[in-house]
Structure 1
Amino acid sequence: MDYKITDKVTWVGKIDWELRKFHGDEYSTKRGTSYNSYLIKDKKNVLIDTAWLPYDKEFVSNLKKEIDLKEIDYIVMNHNEVDHSGALIELMREIPNTPIYCTANGAKVLKGLYHEDWNFVTVKTGDTLDIGDSKLVFIEARMLHWPDTMFTYMTGDNILFSNDGFGQHFATENLYNNTVDQAELYQEALKYYTNILTPFSVLVKKKIEEILSFNYPLDMICPSHGVIWRDNPVQIVEKYLEWADNYQENQITLVYDTMWNGTRRMAETIAKGIKSVDDEVTVKLLNCAKTDKNDIMVEVFKSKAILIGSSTINKGILFSVAGNIEMIKGLGFKNKKAAGFGAYGWSGESVKIITEEIEKCGLKLVDEGIRELWNPDKDALERCFEYGKEFVEKIK
């Protein structure tokens, strides 16, 4: 397969079809991923980013097929998390004095990770590197999503090398956005934004507006995971602006776990109450002990309101519910309303705890929630149905 994406630029990364977990066990990668690295051959030769550590030798070996390593004039590291910088150790053994262009924070990260004092050249927004017919323009993108992150724009070919920005964990042999299943692509792009970039949405919006103000022509966006945006690359920029703006759809999601199905029956009945008065709203029920946590976060991100349910156990809430609340708290979702529900046997603290946690998450509390004793009977389920109906009215 030809990995040449322009006359000057060649994709030299690694497609990882087998990856199923990322960031330790924090992010599920059901469709694998890619570690995109790019080689620019102009009057000067530049390598942009590398690959993850397990593929360091393979990466360097394949790179040698494209270029004599000693002919690489510069290395640009847009972001230095191990999935992008892992192959540097192996590469720098062969070309130890090659200048590495990165932000000041980038140099600190690389030194902290690898304890090597390489030939760092630190750059900031507006700095340029003349490589011949083209120039590289550096744009700091602090906290998108690490303190060291930057983008690199290549004049002439009009390419934005955006590292984690606009990426997806999505393995494909078809490099470009218009050559893959669009539903899969956007599902993975939204999942990536939700779980990685949501906490920085304000910064995302500001950075995109800043880049747009430069009026750079844009023919391609080359991220470091997933597809290259070649066909109408602005489409993903527009999506990011939409997602960064307190995003919500007409959806209510019930996230719950249950011990003996009492809380599950409550969830199902509340959902029926919601639908009885609003047939237009999308309602989803997700048992968080059985559903991928990152997929749950996507549904929370899409929702205008959520209901969190748990049985009471040991005067607390169930483990899976607590973990998902912690993720919601960390991601800092905006423009969403919430309440709690749950079944209990004797002490019944779960709904009170959920209510307190909802406020800590920065969500707007709708009410004090609903709880029912033991296995909900007909009267209890009727109360749940009515609660669902009232919930719809309260979130208008």
Structure 2
Amino acid sequence: LWPLSPLVIKKIEEIQNLRLKINMIAPSHGVIWRRNPTKIVEAYLRWAKGESEDRILVVYDTMWGSTEKMARSIVEGVTSVNVDVRMYRIPYSDRSDIMADLLNSKGLLLGSSTINNDIIPTVAPILEDLKGLKPKGKVAAAFGSYGWGGGAVKTMEETLKKAGFDIVQPGLSINWVPDREELKRCFDFGKEFAERIKHL
């Protein structure tokens, strides 16, 4: 949808200008809309224009649990300022569900442990999807844990930028298992990101 947003907006506006009564939408592939077909047309128009809700997705994977601890503290920080948040762990969450939820969300916090100075392999498909979809009007930041050398956060930030996200705050990297003070940093990271979302 996002790479074709200008065309989608133009075509929907052309159809709306015809003032036709639409009883059904039956595409050559996909769902047939028999009830309230204007609902999906309005949704596509919102998505194409980049309109979204004050919602943040926290999407991550972890090797030994450190990045998951970070993700949970980040979610607590987001909820502390009353911003809706959804947490997805890759690969236990369906990528299609994540991308569908991103349509209606303003922000993405992406997390990965570091392996070989890079992201863990399970995070790569999400980044590939995002590069291809090129989301419109979305903000992001990255977080993750590492052992000897970091690298995952840098890879995620670079790829998110290429995908069209606005990186609104520096990534957060934690060495080994986060202690109480570092979990507080994670909480503050989520809270700060959520505060930014509220002002978009």
What is the alpha-carbon distance in structure 2 between the residues aligned to residue 205 and residue 249 of structure 1?
19
How far has the Cα of 1:231 moved from its partner?
3.7
1:229 counterpart SS class: coil
Structure 1 counterpart of 2:37: 233
1:326 paired with 2:128, answer yes
Rate the CA distance shift 1:342–1:228 in 2: closer, same or farther, 3 A. Answer: closer
Matches within 5 A, 1:22-61: none
What is the alpha-carbon distance in structure 1 between the residues aligned to residue 25 and residue 195 of structure 2?
43
Rate the CA distance shift 1:231–1:381 in 2: closer, same or farther, 3 A. Answer: closer
> How many residue pairs end up in the alignment?
198
User: What letter matches 2:128 in structure 1?
Assistant: E
**Percent of residue pairs bearing the same amino acid type:** 48
Show structure 2 runs of 5+ residues with no match. none
1:296 counterpart SS class: helix
1:248 paired with 2:56, answer no
Structure 2 counterpart of 1:347: 149
Q: Are the aligned partners of 1:352 and 1:368 in contact in 2 as well (CA < 8 Å)?
A: no
Picking from 65, 89, 101, the partner of 1:287 is 89
1:375 paired with 2:173, answer no
Higher RCO (CA-CA < 8 Å; seq separation 6+): 2
What is the alpha-carbon distance in structure 2 between the residues aligned to residue 272 and residue 318 of structure 1?
24
Rate the CA distance shift 1:235–1:380 in 2: closer, same or farther, 3 A. Answer: closer
Please identify the structure whose Cα radius of gyration is greater. 1
Deviation by residue 1:66-112 (Cα, 9 ceiling, x = unmatched): xxxxxxxxxxxxxxxxxxxxxxxxxxxxxxxxxxxxxxxxxxxxxxx
Structure having the larger proportion of residues in helix? 2
User: What letter matches 1:234 in structure 2?
Assistant: T
What is the alpha-carbon distance in structure 2 between the residues aligned to residue 218 and residue 272 of structure 1?
44
1:304 counterpart SS class: strand
The TM-score with structure 2 as length reference comes to 0.91
What is the alpha-carbon distance in structure 1 between the residues aligned to residue 31 and residue 195 of structure 2?
42
How far has the Cα of 1:218 moved from its partner?
3.1
What is the alpha-carbon distance in structure 2 between the residues aligned to residue 289 and residue 220 of structure 1?
36
Picking from 175, 180, 191, the partner of 1:389 is 191
Q: Are the aligned partners of 1:255 and 1:306 in contact in 2 as well (CA < 8 Å)?
A: yes
